Amino acid sequence: MQDNAISHRPWKNNQLTARSDSLRLGVALGGGGARGYAHIGILQVLEEAGITAGAVAGTSSGALVGAVYAGGGLDRLVAESTQIRLLDVPRMLSPSWSLRGIFTGNNAIEWLSGLIGRETFDDLDIPFVALATDVDTGESVVLRDGPVSSAVRASISIPGLFTPIHRDGRILVDGGLVDPLPVAAARDLGAGFVIAVDLFGDAATVAPPPKDDEPGALDTTLNYIRGFLPAETEEPANNNRRHGPNVLEAIERSMIITQHGLTQARLARYPADFRFEPPVAEIGALDFHRAREGIEIGRETARRELPALRDALERHRRRHTGLRGLFHRTIDAIRR
């Protein structure tokens, strides 16, 4: 481990702490659908640099990657996700034919469960929480116990796109509706220094990605669904934007616009100590066949920002060690 790395995996059990360990590193992984592949690349580079998370909080796709990372399955996730082809995407999403949501995500969750390799939160190597939203109350729900796979499934349940999840007497949907970048949740796990990965930080993420001549995951998935519909309900495939977005594009665009603004608001209230903003604007929410590209974007971003992160970690260490650290810890304790 590098000398200036803040450590590390202090707990076997996933117990929350009311007090922060000033030298414990936490990672907050934001939502963004397939853009979340960038999380993988960033975590890889951090591990290679000896900077290892002692707590992980994730929302939506950040919950998916975070759960796999906390279970020690990141290498398996890379190996399997890079094998996903464009035509695999609609089958993974599992059309539901329900008014509650277009997809169930059952095949994807079955796949994910094998990658995590751990059934419950207590089995994970690193303290981890997933964020979801109670659709009845609008409250942010921090999922920290019980089956990991159902917690992740709740966290990724984009309304209208995925059917909601019933868990612990609540109806849960995507955590990004309330907390798209869970910095506060990472601090509640005891982290004194929080690295956030913001998939909507780049202003370019709000603009629609350019339309290619080749169909992407949205078009392919919509065409897959059309194949099961009666002929009279079908609409001609048309990529001309003057006709407006189709239903999947509308849901994706709504998610992007909403989460971009909400993320900025949440960061203003709960700032991270360091933030990565990988440029993933051209990866669509359902582009799960673009793992190699997303992972490499994350790796490039982390490599580019690594010197600045090391400096921030060293400043934080100096601030919280020795007599000066004792002074700051005392002030923090008084404020709490």
* Residues classed as catalytic: 60, 174
Listed in order, strand segments (DSSP E) in the chain are: 21-29, 55-59, 95-98, 101-103, 128-134, 140-143, 160-162, 165-167, 170-174, 191-197, 274-276
Structure-block tokens of residue 62: 């950040």
Q: Which residues are bridge partners to 195 per DSSP?
A: 27, 274
CA distance 253 to 218: 12
* 165-167 and 170-174 strand pairing: antiparallel
Please give the C-alpha separations between residue 214 and each of 139, 210, 222, 244, 279, in angstroms, as whole numbers: 40, 11, 14, 18, 22
- Cite the DSSP H helix spans in 179-246: 183-188, 217-226
Q: What is the dihedral of CA 271, 280, 162, 63, to 10 degrees?
A: -50
Decide if 263 contacts 246 (C-beta within 8 A).
no
Q: Which residues are bridge partners to 98 per DSSP?
A: 101
Please give the C-alpha separations between residue 18 and each of 86, 98, 187, 301, in angstroms, as whole numbers: 45, 42, 9, 33
From the list 195, 192, 153, 155, the residue with the least C-alpha distance to 175 is 155
For residue 182, which phi and psi values (nearest 5 degrees)?
-80, 65
Cα atoms in the 13 Å half-sphere on the side-chain side of 284: 24
